[in-house]
Structures are given as structure tokens and as C-alpha cells.
Amino acid sequence: DIDALAVRRGGAKFARLDRSNVKYPPTDLNKSGPTHSSLCGTLVRIEIERATGALRIAKAYSVLECGQVLVPEVVLGQAQGAFAMSVGFTLLESLPPYEDGPGNGKWNLGQYVIARGSDLPLHDFEVEVLPPIDSDERPKGMAEVVMMPVAPALLNAIYDATGHRFRSLPVTQAMIKGVLK
């Protein structure tokens, strides 16, 4: 049997979650609409400089299933932008609340760090868009779905490299350096 819900923590084996009274939703698009039915997965390869904790994304690969693609260039551009945005909030962007951040009245965009080209694998990021299952499959929304797997992929790669599981974002260079021995 393949269960609809199983978890795997770190390098451990998958553990099936025993549940009762499970009800599966219908497979049609009744209440979820086409914007919520795309699927995406991402793999990343990172390099960490042990002396400084500096992280570099060496390569990234995303697989996207979004139905019939109307404009391939738009899908690719959206996937690249979503990847960059997710790298930003995973590794760089910090917005402290209240007086430690914008609440002090002196905060500006110069203090809000976002991902730049130097933070991304510009020449080593590949997006594979899977063909639709059948020729009359509708296009599906794909904008936000491309961001979702990037943070977990980065966090798992950092865990594999350092042996430490970070549980808050952003994971900064100083945080990585702090756990390296």
C-alpha cells in the first residue's frame, strides 16, 4: 500500500502515519481551481566554505508539471524569478518586527537584503517542464508553486553538508559558520 501521508526526518526511513477515518478529496477541480493543481520539485547542490560559512548554490534543477504551456518563455521566466525569490527568503531576507526593524522609523530598503545574481546559479539552473498528460489538458497556474520546493531543498542540502537542521529563516552565513566544526 502507498499511503497518502508519510514522513521522513533527516536520513531516516519513511515512517507511515497511522490515521483513521481518512477521506480523500475528489479528483476533479471542483473547489480547487486550476491555479492550485500544478506540481513542482527542486534539487539543489550547494558548496559551503568551512572557514567562513559562505554558501554557494552550485547547481539547481526544477521539474514542473503545469498542464498545457501557452507561452514557454513566460513559464521559464516565472520559474527563474520564483527560484530567486525563494533563495532570498531562505538565505537572505530578514525583517525584524517592531523597534528592531521598520518600527524604529529609520528602516529602509537598504537594510532589506534580497537575492542578486551573485547569489544564484545563473548558468546552472535548469527547469524541466513536463508535457501534459493528454492533449486536451488545460493550462494550470504555476507562479507560486515553483517557489515552494526551493526552501526545503536548500535546508536539506545545508543539513546534509553541516549535520545541523536549521528551523528558522533566513539561514545566514554566520549561522552556518556557527555550526561548523
99-157, pLDDT tens digit by residue? Answer: 888 888 888 878 888 999 999 999 999 999 999 888 888 888 888 899 999 999 999 99
Q: How many residues does the chain have?
A: 181
Query: 76 and 102 in contact (C-beta within 8 Å)?
Result: no
Give the number of other CB atoms < 10 A from CB of residue 120.
Answer: 18
39-63 average pLDDT score: 97
pLDDT at 19 exceeding the cut of 60? yes
All domains of the chain in start order, with CATH: 42-97+110-179 (3.30.365.10)
For residues 4 and 67, which has the higher predicted lDDT (pLDDT)?
67
The whole-model pTM stands at 0.78
pLDDT at 80 exceeding the cut of 50? yes
State the pLDDT at residue 1: 40
Instruction: Please give the Cα distance from 60 to 45 (Å, whole number).
Output: 6
**Angle made by CA atoms 124, 125, 130, in degrees to the nearest 5:** 135
State the pLDDT at residue 138: 84
Residues 153-171 have pLDDT tens digits of: 999 999 999 999 999 999 9
Q: What percent of the chain lies above the pLDDT cut of 90?
A: 59
Query: 95 and 101 in contact (C-beta within 8 Å)?
Result: yes
- What is the pLDDT confidence band of residue 35, given thresholds at 50, 70 and 90? very low
